[in-house]
Structure 1
Amino acid sequence: MQFPESWLRSFCNPALNTQELAELLTMSGLEVEELRPAAPPFHGIVVAEILTAEQHPNADKLRVCTVNAGGPEPLQIVCGAPNARAGIKVPLATIGAELPPGEDGQPFKIGKGKLRGVESFGMLCSARELKLSEDHGGLLELAADAPVGQSIREHLNLDDMLFTLKLTPNLAHCLSVYGIAREVSALTGAPLQAPSFPPVAVKHEAKLPVRIEAPDLCGRFSGRVVRGINTRAQTPAWMVERLARCGQRSVSPLVDISNYVMFELGRPSHIFDLDKIHGELIVRWGKAGEQLKLLNGNTITVDEQVGVIADREQVESLAGIMGGDATAVSDDTKNVYVEAAFWWPKAVAGRSRRYNFSTDAGHRFERGVDPVGTVEHIERITQLILEICGGEAGPMDDQVAAMPERKPVTLRVARAAKVIGMELSQAQCAEVFKRLGLDFVEGEGTLTVTPPSYRFDIQIEEDLIEEVIRVLGYPKLPATPPLAPVVGKTLSESRRAVHALRHAMAGRDYYETINFSFVEARWEQELAGNANPIQLLNPIAAPLAVMRSSLIGSLVQVLRHNLARKAPRVRVFEIGRVFLRDASVVESDSSIAGVAQPMRLAGLAYGPAEQQQWSQRDRQVDFFDVKGDLEALFAPRQLSFVAAEHPALHPGRSAKVLLEGAEIGVIGELHPKWRQGYELPQAPVLFELTLDAVLARSLPKSAGVPRQQSVQRDIAVIVGEGVTHDALMAAIAGAHEGLIRSAKLFDVFKPAQPTAELKAGERSLAVRLELLDEESTLTDERIEQAVSKVLAALGEKLGARLRG
């Protein structure tokens, strides 16, 4: 919100200088983001009138002018501006004047000069030379009644300051100069010059029929017809100046008036060309497929979620956001319909972002605009139209469909003192509410406030507490040290910190990436198998329209981003939240009804398995490399992997990850179909795990050094090709032989051609058994007996036989 200080002080003029006023606003929650002068420094420039303008005798593009600058004698000035002519008033830099600093930062000093043999006693200036605008088409023409000889800074009020406020969304009532002045009056006690809205004289009885079909879209709709206006009139210089200092350029008188009242009072409005409206206006929700060409030239398609103003033939305006091109005013407009409405904030919020633009009107309506002031503000707009463009006003048409209810909010003085952290009396709170113009009823230690129509932000007790300390002043808060000791929370040793997990992943050569939680619907359909993802009502970009239920799509996109920048080797991981439909989830401070939001760890590996080096050949990363990364991440806990299918992964090269028999995630190579679909030269290996399972860890248990010597025995058994490593280890573990301490597979053999011993479909597995008895030395007899039990178990469960 940008505005000039002079406009603010016309409503409320506290006994504060500019810097003090800026500090006051900032410390009351209205942060002054920027404070700058309306014009750069210069001096010696006055209002002058050109008396004559004759052709230069020695130059085609120069004129010799005689100028009245308020002195005893006219001055001779040589000027090259195309609009230099007798009778106009322009800025004159007299001898000794200094123009604004140039690119070198040094001011330009005016002296007596001679141009093509003719002396010049000063310089006539353009707006660009004074750095008031970029217009360099000619001299800056001033008003005809400008006093000759007056300082141009005084005449144009160039010593003004421009405030730019960075307002939070709850401060919608401060999105106008009057709204800010109201706050300044409450903060300082300076009198507020409230504007008056006397009804204009009604000259005819014409009304435009209006129907409100959607009270949940529009709560109030006010308007009037104004006939016989002159849209070719000139916008007054004072209005153009104020609009420019609010960052708004002048367009045409009617548009300028509408914008001026919006900045002045915070009320966006719209002016229709009455003769272009077909019959009546209908306020309703849009219909699927309806199209509207907006004032910015864009043609959009609306649906049932977007509010519109339509006539009997077509949509004419996007409700609360922007008018349509079909009924826009032009230089040929003679009759207009002035509209001011109350649009429900929820009905406007986010609608403009659907079409990739934003407007000042939408910015205000989605935060809340006073529903009570529509009629008064139309009176203000009508008054300005009649003053500037002429015409005759018709009767006011005010339709009320549904007004917002302001529920009373109670402030407990004791509670406010506790939250604020300083002594507070009920009288102080009452005085604050009086200064803010809030109606309240006092009770025993309480004040019950009924919020005014323009305060959409006062809903709970904490809102009132904020108002109290904001007006009393944050600098009054005592510097009280905390009473309770500050003690850091100690994380349980059975749970690893997320930061430690990040270090562990970085130690495995993975880089962390952070992605949006909203993704493309295609990723969910193809890579997560989710045909019904959670839809976003107001996506920040059209493709990012759903909430992710898997991190895999985000990592594949990161890989594509890296490959587009010629990265040959990619190792990335992400720790993030996913969003799943779950009817069992109830509403709470940290959850949304029907939506589960678990945390996941996902990773991706692509390219060479190791960094390129001379001592080994390049080898592409595969399933077992990433499997080894996971086993190292979980050590000493043991993972197991069972072949499984996943929508994103290769059906023969993927598995579900099990920890102590419970499934905690998946791992595998990207499906060939998606490798081609996402245009990847090779298939990456991915994994996705439940974060809680990754963070949990087992505590170490102490064990004494064995007093006896362990014994190793190697056995080779012949089994069918379908026997897996897990099945082999499970059969050995199930032998119930207490002497077996560990078993490791160290060799797999299958001859090129079947032999008498190894038939077709069979292979040899060699296993090293480690045997140990903590209490006594093992004898050959006990060792052989234990090995025999293992062989018997393998034969019984796997059909294995001893090789040789």
Structure 2
Amino acid sequence: MKFTLSWLKEHLDTTATLTEVRDALTMLGLEVEGITDPAEALKGFIVGYVVEAVQHPNADRLRVCKVDTGASIVQVVCGAPNARTGMKGIFAPPGSYVPGTDLHLKAGKIRGEESNGMLCSSRELQLGDDHSGIIDLPADAVTGQPAAEALGLDDAVIEIKVTPNRGDCLGVHGIARDLAAAGLGTLKPVKADKIAGSYASPIKWTHDYTPTPDSPCPIVVGRHFRGVKNGPSPDWLQRRLKAIGLRPISALVDITNLVTFDLNRPLHVYDAAKLSGDLVMRQARDGEQTLALDGKTYTLDPAVSVIADSKAVHGIGGIMGGEETGVQEGTTEVFLEAAYFQPIGIAASGRKLGILSDARYRNERGIDPESCWWGAEVATRLILELCGGECSEIVSSGVMPAWQRRYDLRADRVKTLTGIDVPAAETASILAKLGFEVSGSGPWTAAVPSWRPDIVGEADLVEEVTRVFGFDKIPTTSLPRLSTTSKPVRDAMQRRVPQARRALAARGLNEAVTWSFLPRRKAERFGGGQPDLQLLNSIDATLDTMRPSILPNLIDAASRNEARGLADPALFEVGPQYKDATPQGQRMVAAGLRHHAAVPRNWAGPARTVDAFDAKADALAVLAAIGAPDTIAAYGGTAPDWYHPGRSGALKLGDRVMAYFGELHPAIVAEADLKGPVAAFEVFLDAPPLPKAKATKARPKLVLSPFQPVERDFAFLVEAGVEADKLVRAARNADKALITAARVFDVYAGKGVPEGKKSLAIAVTLQPMERTLTDAEIEAVCNKIVAQVTKVTGATLRG
């Protein structure tokens, strides 16, 4: 919301400086986003009086001017056709920066004649597009006066950020009301005296439904004008609109824009001669179309409110008027519209149609329903003053929405909610200055004004009193300690995200941060693409679906890296992926991939490309870092179809999947134009159970054994389809107290091994804690290992 300081002072009787206004606005919750002073760009430019203008002796299109600057008379060579003796213009002395030409002026000679400055056009000062001649000021302009003052551009423009609940501050009068309540002056009343019509309106308002307070448009007011003259609006109005970034169009249109920004009362005027009969407020018919003022044709449906006559739709209610009945320079008959629309309906229609307009912005936040009446009177006065003519009696249709509400405010409620002790008299005074009708002496009953739809209870009254009295007066009070020791900010589940990041970074992978959405085609390939996961307002037409997996984005990143010569990328990301649109459908996942070389060529040995076991090791590292149980088992052939069907698997705890790992499907690798295998993994951080809390008084100590460990090797014959991990876990479970490690060191199938069998050799480590093991004790443990492995896997010990 933009406005100028002088505009504000038309509603606020104050002597406050710009700085005081700025600070007060921010403390009231109307954050000042910026202050622009156009006078800064014109600093150094002054009013110059052309004492003499004669033909240049050496150029037909140039004139030599003697310019009085108020301090001296200087010579200027000017090429403007309107340069003449006796005129007053804007003079730029040598050294001035001319924004329209992006040049600093220097004294010099033009065709042999000295030129010490410049007489400027509107375009050269970036005040407009006119470059046909220099600016011609009125005769009463003061010679030597700063140009900003002479042009009326010495008025600072203030821009504030208005929160969605404060629609009343989308008008300058509403902002002035808040400042007056804060003690920065006195609010001036709106000039909305009733103006009697001189004839009956030839156009009436009707509804095609029975209006109620909850109807899409409960009430609409209108007025007919005849004999008006539509042309350029006066200079003061044009300057006011230009200051806030609006383009003046014509007097009638500029009046509606002025009232919109001045009083937060959107209006629309129709060329009455182009209407066919009465206007009706109704819902659009399915497939109905209208050409709007932005030059676009919109297809409507019954959810959209429209204004129509007997032939066609002429406006999208509360959002934008129609092109066909817009006022033109030759318009002499006008019909004024001032309506109240339900905010939710306007917001839904505006979003559906994709229209952003000043009217929609205000109507969807809720305007004053009573402004239908007094807004029509304000507009009437301006139209008659600026365009002449005469007006009809006011016509209307509908019923006034039930905006009246009253809430009680307990005497101690401000203090109990905010800690501020506001005097009772000041509490009542603040509410009264904000427009509330207050009765009682504490507790109070406050009647909510029609322009504050956001006030819905006692807490809102407390907020109003507090923000005007001053949020900075809230005392600083430390919260009491709930315990003598501090507690972690994040719980165990939340800590898994940084734990996974650290584990993967420690393994040499680089973290990537990618979009949470991707093209629908890729989403479907990775098990997604459901309709409820498609975006309605995507930032890119191709990124239209929430990602079902992180891997597609990492694959794209690896492809871009390889295309730029960065071979063998190892990337990971920890973030959400989406199964459906419900909260339960979002999972936190640590995903990563390695491409091409796991070990590059080197002097110590040959190069090695990545495989499924590299991905498995990464996934197991993440699970170990987040505290997953060490009983997780690997199962081959159970990964989704974007993995290689024979080189992938899943890590499970019982029947619950903890992670997927393996090489990516060759078709996906080829589509990404990646050369060589790609190993990937997906670890579901919410899958492993949380460790059980133990009531320990002290942290467990590290216990080191002084006794030498013992390692024994075993070779078993097993069926070819038995997983090595199953055999290793069986061996470890044979004696959990003594066995600290078991690992596979050899796999063999071929000569000497029966067909359909394979030989698995494992090394088992025994670590005594109390004494050195005897040969008999070692032999007993070895027998237990053989028995357990045989029982679980059906293996036999090789001779």
Scaled by the length of structure 1, what TM-score is found?
0.81
> What whole-Å deviation, never above 9, does each CA across 1:139-193 have from its counterpart, x for those lacking one?
22446x8567694554433332221223333332112222212222222262222
Query: What is the SS of the residue equivalent to 1:168?
Result: coil
Residue in 2 aligned with 1:127? 122
Q: What's the CA shift string for 1:328-363, capped at 9, x where partnerless?
A: 433454544332332333233376566666333333
Where 1:239 maps in the other structure, the secondary structure is helix
C-alpha separation in 2, matches of 1:158 and 1:494: 61
| CA positional deviation for 1:236 | 0.9
Q: Give the direction of change, closer, same or farther, for the CA distance of 1:25–1:291 in structure 2 (3 Å limit).
A: same
Alignment partners' CA distance in 2, 1:740 and 1:256: 89
Report the secondary structure of 1:138's partner residue.
coil
Rate the CA distance shift 1:766–1:178 in 2: closer, same or farther, 3 A.
Answer: same
Alpha-carbon separation, structure 2, partners of 1:411 and 1:513 = 53
Q: Which of the residues 391, 394, 414 maps onto 1:393?
A: 391
Determine if contact 2:13/2:188 at 8 Å carries over to the other structure.
Answer: no
Distance in 2 (alpha carbons) for counterparts of 1:292 and 1:564: 50
Letter aligned with residue 593 of structure 2 = A
Q: Which residue of 2 aligns with 1:452?
A: 449
Name the structure 2 match of 1:589: none
Query: Match for residue 461 of structure 2?
Result: 464
Q: Work out whether residues 14 and 188 of structure 1, in 8 Å CA contact, stay in contact via their aligned partners in 2.
A: no
- 1:656 aligned to 640, 650, 655, which one? 650
1:314-329 aligned within 5 A: 316-329=314-327
Change (3 A) 1:729 1:117: closer
Choose the corresponding residue for 2:201, options 201, 205, 222: 205
- Contact 2:205 2:221 (C-alpha < 8 Å) held by counterparts: no
Q: Residues 62-461 of structure 1: matches in 2 within 5 Å?
A: 62-63=62-63, 79-84=78-83, 90-91=88-89, 93=91, 101-102=97-98, 124-130=119-125, 132-133=127-128, 135-142=130-137, 151=145, 153-188=148-183, 190-197=185-192, 198-199=194-195, 201-207=197-203, 209-211=205-207, 217-231=216-230, 233-277=231-275, 283=281, 292-302=290-300, 308-309=306-307, 316-349=314-347, 352=350, 358-400=356-398, 403=401, 405=403, 407-442=405-440, 445-461=442-458
2: CA distance between counterparts of 1:622 and 1:729? Answer: 21
User: 2:687 & 2:471 partners in 1: Cα distance?
Assistant: 46
Measured after TM superposition, the shift of residue 83 of structure 1 is 4.0
How big is the shift at 1:435?
1.6
- For residue 16 of structure 2, what is the amino acid of its counterpart? L
Deviates more, 1:549-558 or 1:415-424: 549-558
Once the two structures are overlaid, the 10-residue window that deviates more, 273-282 or 630-639, is: 273-282
Work out whether residues 500 and 590 of structure 2, in 8 Å CA contact, stay in contact via their aligned partners in 1.
no
Q: SS in structure 2 opposite 1:140?
A: coil
Q: Which residue number corresponds to residue 585 of structure 1?
A: none
Q: Distance in 2 between matches of 1:122 and 1:782?
A: 108
Report the Cα offset of residue 600 of structure 1.
0.5
Structure 1 residue runs without a partner (length 5+) = 583-593
Question: Are the counterparts in 2 of residues 717 and 802 from structure 1 also a CA contact under 8 Å?
Answer: yes
Pick aligned residue for 1:632 from 598, 616, 621: 621
- C-alpha separation between the residues in 2 aligned to 1:515 and 1:342? 45
1:8-23 alignment runs, 5 A limit: 8-23=8-23
Contact 1:100 1:108 in 2 (8 A): yes
Residues 219-228 or 251-260, more deviating: 219-228
- Are the structure 2 counterparts of residues 314 and 617 from structure 1 closer, same or farther at C-alpha, using a change threshold of 3 Å? farther
1: CA distance between counterparts of 2:37 and 2:248? 20
Decide which of 667, 677, 683 is 1:689's aligned counterpart: 683
Contact 1:212 1:218 survives alignment (8 Å): no
Distance 1:746 1:92 in 2: 92
What per-residue deviation string (whole Å, max 9, x for no partner) do you get for residues 344-396 of structure 1? 33233376566666333333233222222023223333433343344443443
Does the CA contact (< 8 Å) of 1:207 and 1:395 recur in 2? Answer: no
Conserved? CA contact 1:200–1:379, under 8 Å: no
Asked whether the 8 Å contact 1:274–1:335 carries over to 2, the reply is: yes
Q: 1:53 to 1:102 in 2, by over 3 A?
A: closer
Superposed counterparts of 1:609-628, under 5 Å: 609=597, 614-615=602-603, 619-628=608-617
- 1:259: Cα distance to partner? 1.6
1:29 counterpart SS class: coil
Determine the structure 1 residue equivalent to 2:6: 6
Measured after TM superposition, the shift of residue 602 of structure 1 is: 2.5
The count of residues paired between Structure 1 and Structure 2 equals 778
Amino acid of the structure 2 residue aligned with 1:666: Y
How far has the Cα of 1:438 moved from its partner? 1.4
The letter of the residue matching 1:339 is E
Q: Considering only aligned residues, what root-mean-square deviation do their CA atoms show, in Å?
A: 4.6
| CA distance in 2 between partners of 1:618 and 1:460 (Å) | 72
Q: 1:464 to 1:750 in 2, by over 3 A?
A: same
Q: Whole-Å Cα distance in 2 between the matches of residues 720 and 114 of structure 1?
A: 103
Contact 1:286 1:308 in 2 (8 A): yes
- Aligned with 1:449: secondary structure? strand
Identify the residue that residue 61 of structure 1 maps to in structure 2: 61
Asked if the contact 1:47–1:147 (Cα under 8 Å) also holds between the matched residues in 2, the reply is no
Distance in 2 (alpha carbons) for counterparts of 1:277 and 1:668: 71
Equivalent residue letter for 1:769: V
Where structure 2 has 5 or more consecutive residues not aligned to the other structure, the ranges are none
1:482 paired to 2:481? no
Describe the SS at the equivalent of 2:532. Answer: coil
Cα deviation code 1:173-216 (max 9, x no counterpart): 11222221222222226222222223263445211554366965
Q: Is the 8 A contact 1:78 1:119 kept in 2?
A: yes
Shift of 1:497: 6.2
Q: Alpha carbons of 1:740 and 1:33: their partners in 2 closer, same or farther (altered >3 Å)? A: closer
Identity %: 36
Q: After TM superposition, give the deviation of residue 106 of structure 1 in Å.
A: 11
Contact 2:53 2:66 survives alignment (8 Å) = yes
| Aligned AA (1:454) | W
| Residue type at the aligned position of 2:151 | L
Provide closer, same or farther for how the CA distance between residues 100 and 365 of structure 1 changes in structure 2, counting only shifts above 3 A.
farther
Larger CA deviation: 686-695 vs 265-274: 686-695
Q: Is the 8 A contact 2:600 2:608 kept in 1?
A: no
> Per the alignment, do residues 483 and 696 of structure 1 end up closer, same or farther by CA in structure 2, a change over 3 Å counting?
closer
Q: 1:646 aligns with which of 640, 650, 673?
A: 640
Which whole-Å deviations, capped at 9, do the CAs of 1:603-635 have from their partners, x for residues lacking one?
A: 222434458674466554433222212222333
State the alpha-carbon separation in 1 of the partners of residues 355 and 70 from structure 2: 51
Deviation at 1:5? 0.9
State whether residues 270 and 340 of structure 1, in contact with CA within 8 Å, keep that contact through their aligned partners in structure 2.
yes
| Kept after mapping to 2: 8 A contact 1:176/1:266 | yes
Are residues 1:602 and 2:601 paired? no
On the 8 A contact 1:181/1:192 being kept in 2, the answer is yes
Q: Structure 1 residues 715 and 291 mapped into 2: Cα distance closer, same or farther (>3 Å)?
A: farther
